[in-house]
Structure 1
Amino acid sequence: MEKVVKRKAIKAVVSACLVSGLLAPLDIPKIGKAKASETYEITVSPIPKSLEKTDKGFPLNPKVGLVTETGTDPAAVAELKQALKEAGVTTVVESNIKNPMLQAPVIIWLGEFSDPDEMKIIQQYTGLQDLEMTKKEGYIVASKHGTNNKKHIVISGHDETGTYYGTQTFEQIMVERKGTDWIPEVEIKDWPTMPIRGSIEGFYGAPWSHEDRLRQLAFYGKHKMNSYIYAPKDDPYHRERWKEPYPVGKIAELAQLVKTAKENHVTFTFAISPGNTITYSSESDLKALIDKAQAMWDIGVRSFALYLDDIDPSLHSPEDRAMFGGDPNPPAAAQAYLLNRFNEEFIKKHSGAERLITVPTDYYQAGTTPYRKRFAELVQSDIIVQWTGIGVVAPTITSQDADKIHGIFKHDLLIWDNYPVNDFDRNRLFLAPLTGRDSDLTPEHGVIGLTANPMNEAEASKIPLFTVADYMWNPEAYDPADSLKRSLKEFAGAAFEPLNLFVEASYATSLNNNREPVSERVKPLIEQFWTAAEAKDFQAVTAAGEALLQEFARMKQAPKQLREKVANPNFLKEVDGYLNKLELYGQAGEAAVHMVLAQQNGDTAEAAAQRLELKQSLTALDKIPQKLSIGVVPTFLERALNGKNLAEGKTAAASSSEVSWLTPDLAVDGNNNTRWASLYSDNQWISVDLGKVYSIDKVKLYWEAAYGKQYKIQVSKDGNQWTDVYTELNSNGGTDEIQFPAVEARYVKMQGIKRASDWGYSLYEFSVFESQN
C-alpha cells in the first residue's frame, strides 16, 4: 500500500498571494545563509475567513514546548508533531495547561481551551486577548512574541475538528528555510460556511480501489472536507446484491476506511441502494437492510444513507401494490414507508447515529411532480434529501433553485454535485475548477452542504476536488482560476507548467460552457496561419507557423515532463492514454505546419514526407479512445490533410435542439468538442448553408454517442428542393466519411431515418468538402 504523506498543503513560499484584501507579502528577513532582502507570501487553502499579519515573525527553535489540555484531539497532536519534525524541530517538551512547562524558546498551545481559567493562562503568557471561537469546526491560529522573551503559537479549535483544522492551517503558514522553519506573526480566525463538505463515491463503472479510498480520505482531511459517502454503483453488495452480507475481507477493508476517516475527521457514510429489487412492505427485506446496517455499525459506521435514484419507481411486487396501490402516488408512499421504518427502527434506536440521508427517484427535475409532492408529505422531517441541482449534471446551482426545491421537498437539502464525475463520458477527464455554484447555498436556503461525485480516476479527481473544497469552506471568497492555480501547485509544483497545459486540455464541461483554454489560445493562430496560406504570403505564413509550432511543441513535450516530474505513479497510470494523445497531437500539429510551409515553399519532397508523418500520427490518434478538450486541433489537422471544410463557420439549421445550449451552429464551429443534439425522435435533421454553390463530393460526420443508425445525405441549390446523394443503412457511429459523385450544391443536409439509441442525433462536426477534380 502506498504511504500517504500529509505534508504542508501549500508551503508559504508559493508564488502567489491569494487572500485578497487580507494578505500581502511579508517582508521577513531570512536567517543564516538566506538573503535578508527576500520576502515571503503566505497562502492558506481553503482561504480563511479572516487573516491579519504583521511584518514580524520568528524562527522555530530545535526545541519547542507543546502545551495541551486533557483530551486534546490526538489526530491534531500527531499532525502537529509530524509538521514540527519536518520543519527541523528535534525536541518537543510536552505539558498540560494545568501545569505548563514554558522553558523552550517557542511555546505552542494546542487544544479547545473552553475552560475560562485555561484561556486566562494563555492570554497571560501570550498577550493575545481575542481567542474566542464560537463557530462549529472553527479555529484560531495566532503567533506572537509574548512575555519573558518567549515566542508563542496558539492553535485553538471550537471543537476537536476545529483544532485539527487549525494544525492544517498552521502547516501552511510555516515558511520553509534551512535549519528550522520561520513563523510569520499572524492572527487567523476561520470556520466553514457549509456544514457538510465532502465527496460521494457514487459513479458507475469500476469502483475505486481500497488504496484509492485511503488516499482520498487523507486528502479530505488535509483540505477540511468532513464527509465521505460510500456508494459506488457497481459495488454489487451496495446495489444489486444489497441483501447479502459483505465477505470477511471486504468488511476488514471497510473497517480500515472507517478508522482512517475518523483519524482525518471525516464522517464515513455507508449507503445502500435497494430500490431495484426491494419489496417495500416486506418485513424480511427491512430486516435485511437493518442487518446490513448493523454490520456496518459494528465496525464504527455512524452515518447511513438509503438511495432510491436511477430505478424504475413502479411497484413490482403484488404485496406492495396491495399495500400502497390506493395512495395518490404509490411509489412515493412505498418509499416513504421504507425510509420512515428504517429511520425509526435503526437510526433512532442507535445512540450517536447521524441523520438518515436519502436520494428520491425524482432528484433532478426543475419543478414539482406528484411523486415529489407525496414524498415530501410522507417522509419524516429529519431525513436529509440529496439533490443534484436542476439537471443530472447541473451547469449552475443557484440559491434561487435551492429555495424552489426546498419549498417542494420541505426537507434539508444536501447537494449531490455531479462534478467532476465522468462515468457518462468515460473517455474524458474533467479537470477544470468548480464553477456555476452560488456563494449563498447555505442553510438559509435549505442547503446544509455539498458532496461532489468524483471521476473514476481517483488521483486525477484531486485536482478539481481541491477547488470543490475551497468553494465549500469559504464560497464568499472562492475564485475558480485562483483555486485551480493553488491546486496545481500543491499537486505537482515542480511540473506546474506542463500540468497546467494538460488541465487546460481536459477543461471543457457543461459547467464552464465547454470552455477550452488551449483552443482559445490556438484558434486565432490557426486563423492567421490559414489566412496567410490562402493569400500565399510566405513571410506571414512562416511567422504564423512559428507561433503554432511553439504551441504544438508544448503539447508534445508536456507528457514527457509530467512523467519525469510528477511523483505520483497512480496519477500517471490513470492519465497515460490522455498523455499519449496530447503528445501525438503536438507531433501531428508540427507535421501539419511543416507540410503546409513546405507546400508554400514549393518543396514537394518535404511536403510529402510531412504528409506521411501527419497521416501516421492521425492513425495512431484514432487508436486512442481517450479524448481531450482541444477541439480546434483535430479540425486543423483535417484541413491540412484534406483541404478546407466548406461548412466551418457557415449558417446551420436543424429540426430541433435537445436543450438550448446544444444548437446546430456548434456542429459547424470548427471545434470537435462542441456538439449539436436533436430531440429524441427518428425524423430529425441538420443542414448547413455553404453561402454559395460549390462542387462537392465528400461529407464527414463526427458522431457523438447518439449517432444515426440510418440516415441520408441530401443536397440542394435553393434550400427547398432536396436530392439524395447518399443513404446509410447501418452506421456504427464514430466518424463517417462519405464519398459521392461530385454535385453542385449550396445546402447540405443530414436527414435522420433511424436512431442508434433512445437519444436523438448528435454531431460534434458536420464537414463538407469541395471536389478536387
Structure 2
Amino acid sequence: HSCPNWRLPYPEKEAQNIKELVQACKRNRVDFVWAIHPGQDIKWNEEDYQNLVNKFNWMYDLGVRDFAIFFDDISGEGTNPLKQTELLNRLTDDFVKAKGDVSPLTVCPTDYSKLWANPTPQGSLAIYGNSLNPDIKVFWTGDVVCSDLTPETMEWINSRIKRPAYYWWNYPVTDYIRNFILQGPVYGLDTSLTKENVCGVVSNPMEHGEASKLALYGVADYTWNIANYNPIDSWERGLQELTPKAKDAYRTFAIHSSDTENGYRRDESWETKTFRIAEWNDATAQALKTEFEKIEKVPAEMEQGCENKALLQELRPWLTEFGKLGTRGKQAIELAQIYRSGNDDSSFWNKYVQNLMSKEDRKAYEAHKSGTLKLQPFYENAMDDMAHGFLKKLLGTTPKDYKGIGSFGNSGTILTKLMLDNDTTTYYTSGIGQKEGDWIGVDLRDIRDVTEISILQGRNSVDDVDYFDHAILECSADGKTWTPLIKELNKQYVINWKGDAVKARYVRLKRLESERKNYASVRSFEVNPLHVENLGFKLESENPQQVVYAFDQNLSTFYKVSNTLTFEVPQGTKTYTLLMDKLSVPLKVKQFDKKGELVSETSISSPFFKLELTNDKVTKVTLEGKAEIFEVIANPQ
C-alpha cells in the first residue's frame, strides 16, 4: 500500500487475508477502509494514474468498498496540492461514481496539522477547499499531531477546506512511546460538536489490539451520543465489559497506566494522593501504602480473573512491572518511617539500599512503564529526599546532589535526573516544542562558587534537532537576577565554560530567538565536576575517572570497586562512614601507617559501616574486594 510497492497487487496470501477481513467486517456491520500511501514517489502522469486505478480495482475485487489516499509525511513533488486534488477528483469520477457502490474517498492531506499547515489562501488546505470534490472527506489531527478535538480547531480547518473535516485522533496510539500501554478514559473530545462541525472521528489505536479496546469503547460511546458522553462513566463500563471477573484489578492498573509522560499528557492516578517526605501526614501515608499494597496484588489477580487471554498476554509485561512498582512504593513508605525517627542510621541505610532500583530493574521498568505521573515519581522523590536528608545529617553540610529545573512542564519532575546521571546515552527531553525564553538548568541546592560548567545538548552531538540552537549560559544566586557566563551560543551541542569563581545557586541554558520548534534535550549538565586532583588527598584506584563518585557528596552516584581502593587519610580524621550497596561477600578494610606497615585489618558485611582509625599513625586505608560505594565520609571524631 506504500512506496515503492503500492503499484503492485498484494501477494496471494496477504490478498486472501484482506478478503477475509472485509467479510468479517461486513458480518459485524463495520466499514473496512483500505488506504494507500503513494505520495512519496508518485509521478503525476497517466501511467501512475492507471497504476492507482488498477490497484483500486484489485482491492475492489477483494470486496473493498471504502478507500482512502494518504499524502502525509512525504516530501517532494508528491506534496503538490493541485496535483493531489486533480487526482482525487478524477478518481471520484472514474472509479467511485463508475462503480456505484463505493463510498466517497477519504484523503489525508500533507498539511494535516495546524502545527505546520500554511494558513494563507495560497496554502494547500485552501486549495482543497476551492478545488476538491465536496464529497471527499479530509482528515485533520488538530492543532498538533496529538491533540484534543475542539470547536476552535474544527472552525480553523473547516473554514479553509469548506466542509466539516474528518477528525483523526491520535489516541491511544503509542508508536511514539512504545514502552507505554494507555488504559485511561477517553476525554478531550468536545461534546458540543455536531455533524455541521465534524463529519467523523477516527481513533488511531495502539499496536496492541486487545488493549486498545478500552479506548475504542470510549470513542465509540462518544460518537454514538456526543452530547451525553461522560468519560469516566464510559471508562467504568468499558472495564466491566472487558474484564467482568477482574474489573477491580484491571481498574487499579488502568487508572495508573494512563499518562504518556511525553507530549500529549493524560491524567492519571487521580484518586491517589502522593506527597514529599517534608509534607508527611500519617493518614495520607497510610492511604498511599494501602494503594501500593493493592497494586502489588494486581498481576496475580489479573492472571486469575481475566478471561480474555489475548488481553492478558498483551498486558502481562506491564503488569509485571506494575506489581514491582507497588512493592517498592510500599517499602519507600516503610523506610520513611525509619528515616523520620532518625535514631538508627544503620537500619535506615541497610533498608534504603534494599529498596533501590538496580540497573536491571530500571531497564525492565523503562521497557514497560506505568505510574509515571504520580507513583514512580513518589518513589523516586521519596528515595532522593531521604538520601539527601540522611547525607546532610552525616556531612553536616548541604550535599551536592543537584536538581534539574527549567521552564517546561516536566522540568520539576524525575525526568531531569536523566541529564544528571553521568550517562550520556540517556537524556532529559522537554516533551513539548521549545519557544523563546525557555530554559533548562540546575539547582545547586545552596550558593556555591561556580568555576566550571559542561553541557551536552541534544540526543547526539552530530545531527540532532532537539536542542537550543541559539542560547545564553547564565547563573544566579537567587533565581531572579541572572548573570551571563556565555552571552551567545550558536548551534553548539557541546558547551564548556571555565572561569573565576562566581557565587551562584542556579545555572541555566536559556533559549534566545530562533525559528526552531523542536523539543529540547540535554544529555549531561555538569556544574563544578569533581576532579581527583581537587579532592585534597591521594587515591589509588582501578578507574581514576570514576573513583571521585565515592567522594562527591552525592548519593545518586557510586564507585564500583572490583579489586582495591586506597585513599590517603587527611590530617584530623578520626573515623570514616562507609555507605555501600548490598555486599555479596565481605569487604576487607586495611589500615596502614606511613611506612606501609599494616596497622589493622577487619572484614565488613553490612552496607553501613563506621570505621574507626586504630591510632593517629594510620595514613592510608585500603578497601579490598568487590563493592559499590556510594560515599566515603571522613569524620573528625
State the TM-score, normalized to the length of structure 2.
0.66
Q: Classify 1:511/1:743 alpha carbon distance in 2 versus 1 (closer, same or farther; 3 Å).
A: closer
Question: Deviations for 1:571-607, whole angstroms, at most 9, x for unmatched residues?
Answer: 2222233222212211222232233323344344543
> Is 2:110 aligned against 1:381?
no
Q: Which runs of 5+ in 1 are unaligned?
A: 1-236, 317-329, 533-539, 655-663, 732-741
Does the residue aligned with 1:311 lie in a helix, a strand or coil? coil
Does the residue aligned with 1:599 lie in a helix, a strand or coil? helix
Separation of aligned partners in 2, 1:684 and 1:561: 45
Separation of aligned partners in 2, 1:577 and 1:730: 36
Does the residue aligned with 1:444 lie in a helix, a strand or coil? coil
Question: Which letter maps to 1:383?
Answer: I
Within the candidate set 332, 335, 343, 2:92 is matched to 343
Question: Deviations for 1:308-366, whole angstroms, at most 9, x for unmatched residues?
Answer: 11211x327xxxxxxxxxxxxx8111111211222222112112111111111112227
Separation of aligned partners in 2, 1:561 and 1:443: 43
Counterpart for residue 562 of structure 1? 302
Does the residue aligned with 2:89 lie in a helix, a strand or coil? helix
Aligned residues: 485
> Is 2:313 aligned against 1:573?
yes
Separation of aligned partners in 2, 1:239 and 1:588: 48
Query: How do 1:75-90 residues align onto structure 2 when only pairs under 5 Å count?
Result: none
Within the candidate set 564, 572, 583, 2:323 is matched to 583
> Is 2:274 aligned against 1:530?
no
Separation of aligned partners in 2, 1:511 and 1:464: 18
Deviation at residue 568 of structure 1 after TM alignment: 2.2
Question: Which letter maps to 2:477?
Answer: K
Within the candidate set 82, 85, 88, 1:333 is matched to 82
> Is 2:193 aligned against 1:451?
no
> Is 2:517 aligned against 1:517?
no
Q: Which runs of 5+ in 2 are unaligned?
A: 389-397, 418-427, 495-500, 529-551, 555-632
Question: Which letter maps to 2:147?
Answer: A
Question: Which letter maps to 1:331?
Answer: N
Question: Deviations for 1:158-206, whole angstroms, at most 9, x for unmatched residues?
Answer: xxxxxxxxxxxxxxxxxxxxxxxxxxxxxxxxxxxxxxxxxxxxxxxxx
Question: Deviations for 1:229-266, whole angstroms, at most 9, x for unmatched residues?
Answer: xxxxxxxx344411111000111111111111110111
Does the residue aligned with 1:430 lie in a helix, a strand or coil? coil
Within the candidate set 479, 484, 487, 2:230 is matched to 479
> Is 2:608 aligned against 1:608?
no
Query: How do 1:271-282 residues align onto structure 2 when only pairs under 5 Å count?
Result: 271-280=35-44, 282=45
Q: Classify 1:455/1:513 alpha carbon distance in 2 versus 1 (closer, same or farther; 3 Å).
A: closer
Question: Which letter maps to 1:263?
Answer: R
Question: Which letter maps to 1:627?
Answer: K
Q: Classify 1:597/1:565 alpha carbon distance in 2 versus 1 (closer, same or farther; 3 Å).
A: same
Counterpart for residue 30 of structure 2? 266
Counterpart for residue 102 of structure 2? 353
Q: Classify 1:288/1:439 alpha carbon distance in 2 versus 1 (closer, same or farther; 3 Å).
A: same
Question: Deviations for 1:129-161, whole angstroms, at most 9, x for unmatched residues?
Answer: xxxxxxxxxxxxxxxxxxxxxxxxxxxxxxxxx
Q: Classify 1:456/1:593 alpha carbon distance in 2 versus 1 (closer, same or farther; 3 Å).
A: same
Question: Which letter maps to 1:427?
Answer: N
Counterpart for residue 320 of structure 1? none
Does the residue aligned with 1:395 lie in a helix, a strand or coil? coil
Counterpart for residue 414 of structure 1? 166
Deviation at residue 411 of structure 1 after TM alignment: 3.4
Does the residue aligned with 1:628 lie in a helix, a strand or coil? coil
Does the residue aligned with 1:306 lie in a helix, a strand or coil? strand
Separation of aligned partners in 2, 1:517 and 1:402: 27
Separation of aligned partners in 1, 2:39 and 2:3: 8
Asked if 2 retains the 8 angstrom alpha-carbon contact of 1:518 and 1:630, the reply is no
Deviation at residue 477 of structure 1 after TM alignment: 1.1
Question: Deviations for 1:508-545, whole angstroms, at most 9, x for unmatched residues?
Answer: 2599983543266132xx33x4334xxxxxxx65x554
Does the residue aligned with 2:91 lie in a helix, a strand or coil? helix
Counterpart for residue 536 of structure 2? none
Separation of aligned partners in 2, 1:626 and 1:767: 29
Asked if 2 retains the 8 angstrom alpha-carbon contact of 1:431 and 1:460, the reply is yes
Counterpart for residue 155 of structure 2? 403
Question: What percentage of aligned pairs have identical amino acids?
Answer: 27
Separation of aligned partners in 1, 2:311 and 2:157: 38
Deviation at residue 547 of structure 1 after TM alignment: 3.1
Q: Classify 1:440/1:643 alpha carbon distance in 2 versus 1 (closer, same or farther; 3 Å).
A: closer
Counterpart for residue 182 of structure 2? 430
Separation of aligned partners in 2, 1:335 and 1:748: 51
Q: Classify 1:583/1:303 alpha carbon distance in 2 versus 1 (closer, same or farther; 3 Å).
A: same
Q: Classify 1:562/1:570 alpha carbon distance in 2 versus 1 (closer, same or farther; 3 Å).
A: same
Separation of aligned partners in 1, 2:319 and 2:453: 32
Deviation at residue 381 of structure 1 after TM alignment: 2.1
> Is 2:364 aligned against 1:623?
yes
Separation of aligned partners in 2, 1:632 and 1:548: 11
Question: Deviations for 1:282-313, whole angstroms, at most 9, x for unmatched residues?
Answer: 2221111111111111121111111111211x
Question: Deviations for 1:27-50, whole angstroms, at most 9, x for unmatched residues?
Answer: xxxxxxxxxxxxxxxxxxxxxxxx
Does the residue aligned with 2:372 lie in a helix, a strand or coil? coil
Question: Deviations for 1:534-575, whole angstroms, at most 9, x for unmatched residues?
Answer: xxxxxx65x554333212212222122112211222222222
Mean Cα deviation higher: 368-377 or 246-255: 368-377
Separation of aligned partners in 2, 1:594 and 1:456: 39
Asked if 1 retains the 8 angstrom alpha-carbon contact of 2:321 and 2:364, the reply is no
Counterpart for residue 597 of structure 1? 337
Query: How do 1:79-228 residues align onto structure 2 when only pairs under 5 Å count?
Result: none
Deviation at residue 481 of structure 1 after TM alignment: 0.4
> Is 2:42 aligned against 1:301?
no
Separation of aligned partners in 2, 1:621 and 1:560: 22
Question: Which letter maps to 1:284?
Answer: E
Question: Deviations for 1:444-467, whole angstroms, at most 9, x for unmatched residues?
Answer: 23x222111111111111001101
Asked if 2 retains the 8 angstrom alpha-carbon contact of 1:519 and 1:631, the reply is no
Counterpart for residue 439 of structure 1? 191
Asked if 2 retains the 8 angstrom alpha-carbon contact of 1:435 and 1:512, the reply is no
State the TM-score, normalized to the length of structure 1.
0.55
Counterpart for residue 77 of structure 2? 315
> What's the RMSD between the two structures over aligned residues?
4.4
Within the candidate set 387, 394, 411, 2:147 is matched to 394
